[in-house]
A and B are shown apart, each in its own frame.
Chain A
């Protein structure tokens, strides 16, 4: 949503000296970065580098061994009780598998958080929920159960549910995973349109290169070996100019693969 102070350089999330890990297994160490209000910020990296773990620390699901995550100035790591509840209403989360509640239809899924957090009546909540479903193109499916719709639609419905309380920030965990290229591109367009029209800040975890080039304003790349950030900035710029060979390799893999000759195809003989 457009805000009172629509300052695009203002940080909405600040991660300071964050260490991510389970027990003695440290996955990421001393991470510091910030996310600007209204931007689409992508966390990327190879499999097992701790992208999803970082996201879960940022949304307060896991307690990090040390460090802080400030969401609109409030530290979610140390917040408790009402203060924590207050922070939780500031953002919505879309999980990798959608995580829609199977016993509720799409409208009820979206309405659930409105029922929990507001005093609006049923008709008012339903209208707000329908608006959210309309934004992701699922209004005609409002009475469908999650099991009756496709994986891509489930993810879009999960985005609608995450937007129910009009959060300032949306966290998306691997939105394109398991989707075909067309559905994935449609989902990217949904994210772009929500970001541009509503000014919502997106934090997206993904390693799908086409998605990254389409939606990302800024990225950070995580690395398993150094347990930290190895690149930060515009993905298109990094692809061309990064000094780090690992970063170039990550970004150019898609382009190289596209230009590679398919070894299964017979070579074309020039006339």
Chain B
């Protein structure tokens, strides 16, 4: 049986050829040309297939003898050597023998340095990351969840303690950091908050008007939209934007500091990282979330009033309806919620940053976890608040 296998490129680029001859338990593989990672593609797997078929055909692998003739090999690099080693390993695994004939002496040490070659072929039990059973994974997941809850509880305690400290020692709070963070998280967020609040106002007004027009009740759009925005959508949309923007930024910033041992440097320098890094961000979160929320409410209602012009409802009529509908309680309810959202966004961002492991991937993971955790907590708090409002009328 003779099967030449060739990797012949169209141009004058180096190429390789493998010529397979077998007769019973004896086989010869004549290699020629330039054996590297490029020329071996296709040739390698074909040669392995031929070897496998021959070993199966010859019946007993233990008596098989493969000779690799390298007379025509002009170049052999690491990939070529790996190819020969692969054939040798298959031969050994079948209990057969392999002889390398006419190999240039300069290549022999390159092959010998890998002996014993069995080390290059890992067995299933040498895998560093062993597979765990479902029960073990569930157990580990539950433990991780409990550990995370514990860390969050401890963190809440630390924050409460540092806020108490800040009230007692207001001069020692890093107000410059607080201002920088407040500007970055608050002022810099104004354009995106404006855009989203405006579009939400427009969409809400249009959708409400479509439904209410069927009953000739378009004039009630102002009542519906303003109440929804002040009590719910303004604070919620602002919180979602802040979670995506600032929570991730806090986690990435503190996470990078953790990776670079800057947090360790604070600890060993006797500076509490909670007071140094977390407190200014928490205070900034507490300040900017309600302000942005109120700003978003006003933009949303303004956008809705503009939209209602299309339904021949003038500004004056719209705003009269708004003033009749909205009470101070509605505004305070929304702002109280946004205060809590601000705490969640800043706190979770900082906590995830402090929990960062090592490496660039860990920083990315922390930022992702910060956003996801913030969103989950925001929705949970919002639900809780809706229930409290229903029960208390606040």
Binding site for B on A (CB under 8 A): 1-4, 6, 102-103, 114, 117-121, 124, 127-128, 130-132, 134-135, 139, 141-147, 163, 165-166, 197-198
B82 touches A128 (CB 8 A): yes
**In the complex, what residue of chain B is closest to A106 when comparing beta carbons?**
B128
B75 touches A128 (CB 8 A): no
Q: How far is the CB of A83 from chain B (nearest CB, A)?
A: 14
B110 touches A198 (CB 8 A): yes
Q: How far is the CB of A232 from chain B (nearest CB, A)?
A: 30
A197 touches B109 (CB 8 A): yes
Enumerate chain A residues within 8 angstroms of B138, measured Cβ to Cβ: none
B120 touches A134 (CB 8 A): yes
User: Whole-angstrom distance between the alpha carbons of A134 and B114 in the complex?
Assistant: 7
Q: How far is the CB of B139 from chain A (nearest CB, A)?
A: 23
4 smallest beta-carbon distances between A and B, as pairs: A102-B359, A119-B41, A143-B128, A166-B77
**In the complex, what residue of chain B is closest to A166 when comparing beta carbons?**
B77
Given A1-B77, A4-B74, CB of A127 within 8 Å of CB of B36: no
With A124-B45, A128-B79 known, 11 other A-B pairs at CB within 8 A are: A3-B75, A103-B361, A120-B44, A128-B37, A131-B85, A131-B120, A132-B78, A139-B119, A139-B120, A143-B127, A165-B37
User: Whole-angstrom distance between the alpha carbons of A230 and B16 in the complex?
Assistant: 46
Residues of B in contact (CB 8 Å), total 39
Among B37, B83, B110, B357, contact of A114 (Cβ-Cβ < 8 Å): B37
**A-facing mask of B104-124, CB < 8 A → 1, else 0?**
101101100110000111100
User: Whole-angstrom distance between the alpha carbons of A166 and B80 in the complex?
Assistant: 10
Q: How far is the CB of B305 from chain A (nearest CB, A)?
A: 49
Given A121-B45, A139-B119, A143-B129, CB of A131 within 8 Å of CB of B361: no
Among A119, A139, A147, A197, contact of B110 (Cβ-Cβ < 8 Å): A197
B36 touches A166 (CB 8 A): yes
**Is B294 positioned at the interface, with any CB of A under 8 Å from its CB?**
no
Enumerate chain B residues within 8 angstroms of A117, measured Cβ to Cβ: 37-38
Given A103-B361, A166-B79, A197-B110, CB of A127 within 8 Å of CB of B120: yes
User: Whole-angstrom distance between the alpha carbons of A114 and B76 in the complex?
Assistant: 17
Q: What are some 8 contacts across the A-B interface (CB < 8 A)?
A: A1-B76, A6-B106, A102-B358, A128-B78, A130-B122, A131-B81, A142-B122, A166-B78
Enumerate chain B residues within 8 angstroms of A127, measured Cβ to Cβ: 82, 85-86, 120-121
Name the residue among B104, B106, B128 with the largest chain A CB count within 10 angstroms. Answer: B128
Q: How far is the CB of B117 from chain A (nearest CB, A)?
A: 9
**In the complex, what residue of chain A is closest to B104 when comparing beta carbons?**
A2
Q: How far is the CB of B255 from chain A (nearest CB, A)?
A: 13
User: Whole-angstrom distance between the alpha carbons of A13 and B85 in the complex?
Assistant: 32
A124 touches B86 (CB 8 A): yes
A118 touches B38 (CB 8 A): yes
**In the complex, what residue of chain B is closest to A129 when comparing beta carbons?**
B82
**Is B59 positioned at the interface, with any CB of A under 8 Å from its CB?**
no
**A-facing mask of B350-394, CB < 8 A → 1, else 0?**
000000011111100000000000000000000000000000000
B78 touches A124 (CB 8 A): no
Enumerate chain B residues within 8 angstroms of A139, measured Cβ to Cβ: 119-120
Among B38, B107, B114, B129, contact of A2 (Cβ-Cβ < 8 Å): B107
**Is B170 positioned at the interface, with any CB of A under 8 Å from its CB?**
no
**Is B40 positioned at the interface, with any CB of A under 8 Å from its CB?**
yes
Q: How far is the CB of A90 from chain B (nearest CB, A)?
A: 12
**Is B42 positioned at the interface, with any CB of A under 8 Å from its CB?**
yes
User: Whole-angstrom distance between the alpha carbons of A120 and B46 in the complex?
Assistant: 11
Enumerate chain A residues within 8 angstroms of B38, measured Cβ to Cβ: 117-119
User: Whole-angstrom distance between the alpha carbons of A3 and B14 in the complex?
Assistant: 13
A131 touches B82 (CB 8 A): yes
User: Whole-angstrom distance between the alpha carbons of A139 and B78 in the complex?
Assistant: 15
Enumerate chain B residues within 8 angstroms of A146, measured Cβ to Cβ: 359
B113 touches A135 (CB 8 A): yes
Enumerate chain B residues within 8 angstroms of A198, measured Cβ to Cβ: 78, 110
